Amino acid sequence: MSPPDHPHWRWPFICTNCRKPYPDAGLPYRCPRCGGVFDFAESLHLEAKQFEEKPAAGIGRFKASFPLPPSAGFISLGEGNTPLVHERFKDRDLYFKLEGCNPTGSFKDRGSSVLVSSLAAARVQIAIEDSSGNAGASFAAYAARAGIRARIFVPDYASGPKRAQMQAYGAEVIRIMGPRSAVTEAALRAVDEGVVYASHANLPHGLAGMATLAYELYEAFDDLPEAVVVPVGQGTLLLGLSRGFRALREAGMVERLPKLVGVQARACAPIWAVFNSGAVGLGWVSEGVTLAEGIRILHPLRGDAVLVAIEESGGWVEAVDEEAISEARNALGAKGLYVEPTSAVVWAAIEPVLSNTSGSIALVLTGSGLKSP
């Protein structure tokens, strides 16, 4: 819906399937005509002057690039401006981006701030989300900040600290038995009752918030790193990075874009399977149990877009097994970096990344170890 205070403003989205613009009425999570996924109709708009504000302003300084009415408020908890830690490893420069230092302990806050600001602009009073943990905790926090009632569906295996965090923000938490996909199915049944589905995976709003990570990497480097390595489940962070780097290039601020390297747990690695074997690879992918619960996604909604973003960047996808994830988490801890297992997959894939690059590498550590002790 167009925000009540801005009747002539329209959401800048279009259905990726039938190309229908986002409706003026309601706040649908998918295209009412064909069931397709909505995405931005055009590239994110970025101007050099947005970088002139002090970083202490947080990601709100990039508000002009967000899908928000010009005079809409911005719901913030101080997200962004996370530390970038340098290490010299095997004669290479590595940089760890510590997204666990965001307000709720994960990168999800970048997207939640924009998504919840959009809900607030549309005067939504209650909304639901489904999550394995981090997205739900983040949404609960920002919804509380905006005065929006949150109901969150989580898998029964979601870590206790994440569930407790959601409840601390006042959200109603509903635990669902079975695989991660069963949680989404339960949420969709609630949506059929008429509640707004504030899905971080379905709604495109948060991608503009994820793009701010690309802007911060641009600010930190004289030249962008050769590669950026990220965990991939739904792939919203990788997509946000891709959109952000593209916006920088279209603004004439950079010429070369980093290679985007996605990492999945081999127990549930659909993006890796398709990247390496085509659609036939999905035939032997399952939703296996993995320590990296945050990327246990069998059917990523924007999988095609994720694959395109990776290929356009010259990047690729790695899959790592459970032993490697556990060892990587311990290895990062020995460096003073306490992360949850989902974040550790990037270090588990460091050797092939080193072998296929020659320059600096940024590794995104997506969540704090306090989320999954």
Lookup result for tokens 């994830």: 325
Report d(CA 99, CA 273) in Å as an integer: 27
Kindly list the structural domains of the chain, giving each domain's residue range(s) and its CATH number in brackets, ordered by start: 84-107+205-371 (3.40.50.1100), 108-197 (3.40.50.1100)
Residue 344 neighbours by CB distance under 10 Å: 30
Tell me the longest C-alpha to C-alpha distance in the chain.
Answer: 57
The 3-state DSSP class for residue 207 equals helix
Q: Give the type of residue at 330.
A: N
Pairing of strands 259-265, 227-231: parallel
Q: How many CA atoms lie within 13 A of 370 on its CB side?
A: 12
Strand partners, 55: none
Q: CA gyration radius for the chain?
A: 19
Q: Which helix (H) or strand (E) holds 155?
A: strand 149-155
261 Cβ contact partners less than 8 Å away, ≥ 6 residues apart? 227, 228, 229, 230, 310, 315, 316, 317, 318, 349, 353
Q: Yes or no: say if 94 and 183 are a contact pair by the CB < 8 Å rule.
A: no
> Alpha helices of 147-235 — where are they, by DSSP H?
160-168, 180-191, 205-210, 212-220
Q: What is the pLDDT along the chain (373 residues), one digit of tens a residue?
A: 456 566 678 999 999 999 999 998 889 999 999 999 999 999 999 988 888 888 878 899 999 999 999 889 999 999 999 999 999 999 999 999 999 999 999 999 999 999 999 999 999 999 999 998 899 999 999 999 999 999 999 999 888 999 999 999 999 999 999 888 899 999 999 898 889 999 999 999 999 999 999 999 999 998 899 999 999 999 999 999 999 999 999 999 999 999 999 999 999 999 999 999 999 999 989 999 999 999 999 999 999 999 999 999 999 999 999 999 999 999 999 999 999 999 999 999 999 999 999 999 999 999 999 988 7
